[in-house]
Amino acid sequence: MYQIISIFLIGIIVGFLSGLLGKGGSAITTPALQVFGGVAPFLALASPLPVSLTNASSGSLAYYKERLLNKQVILLTIYSGVPATILGSYMSKFVGGQMLMIFTAIFVCGLGISFIIPLFVKIPSMDTNLLHREDPATWKILTIGVSVGLLSGLLANSGGVLYAPLFIRWLKLPTKEAMATSLVVAGGLAIPGTLVHWWLGHIDWWVVLILCIGSIPSAYAGAKAAIKMKSETLEMIFGTMLILFGLYDIYYTLK
């Protein structure tokens, strides 16, 4: 019973953060399932993948009602990201993962700092709370899809933590639109991994079910909370979480 309650609570927390921050949540769910849920490593690694799909479906429903989903960015990122993720998975046996993980974590921390500093030094936010009027360049979208896809394949992670900040900083999408779009992309890119790990028998569907019961409503609630927040507040939370994720990844890699 303790294990069921723990997994359920993990689902609630991760679902809310997924909807709020526009990421799949596997980077948090996997260690949480091992530490608090007593789930075996292989099952803890793969079981969050199908949950990313349900989180994306639930959270994106709230964002869709507000017309915050950028279909061009979603389609092009998934189109370029899926083959890049597969290639990155193959390349992982030739690349040293530890240093790559540390450099990625440092990059994530830097992105987080880039969101927080402007709020303190009174630099106006690039977000106007309105949908952008000019579509981002196709080559920029494809570059993000390929680069993050390769990295996520190398690190066996969905890469969701990188999409939203890159959508904001490089594609110049408004904060809320970037969060919404990132959530759908993270869900879409979880499909290949879900199918492969399902075939390999690495997914515990009871764990998936318990996680989904908690995460589906909370992902929708997280998305609704993000929609209602001021952009500056959302950027502060997002930047702080990026820094925490980055520092945690460094600690988890070096321990």
* Three-state DSSP state, 203: coil
How far apart, in whole angstroms, are the C-alpha atoms of residue 78 and residue 146?
9
State the first-to-last Cα distance of the chain, in angstroms, to the nearest integer: 31
* Three-state DSSP state, 174: coil
| Residue ranges in the chain whose pLDDT is less than 50 | 123-132
| 219, 18 Cβ separation under 8 angstroms | yes
**For position 119, what pLDDT does the model report?**
67
**For position 131, what pLDDT does the model report?**
45
Tokens 């869900």 correspond to 187
At 198, the amino acid letter reads: W
**For position 35, what pLDDT does the model report?**
77
Render the burial of 168-195: b for 16+ CB within 10 Å, e for the rest: beebebbbbbbbbbbbbbbbbbbebbbe
Global pTM reads 0.80
| 219, 187 Cβ separation under 8 angstroms | no
How far apart, in whole angstroms, are the C-alpha atoms of residue 223 and residue 23?
11
**For position 242, what pLDDT does the model report?**
82
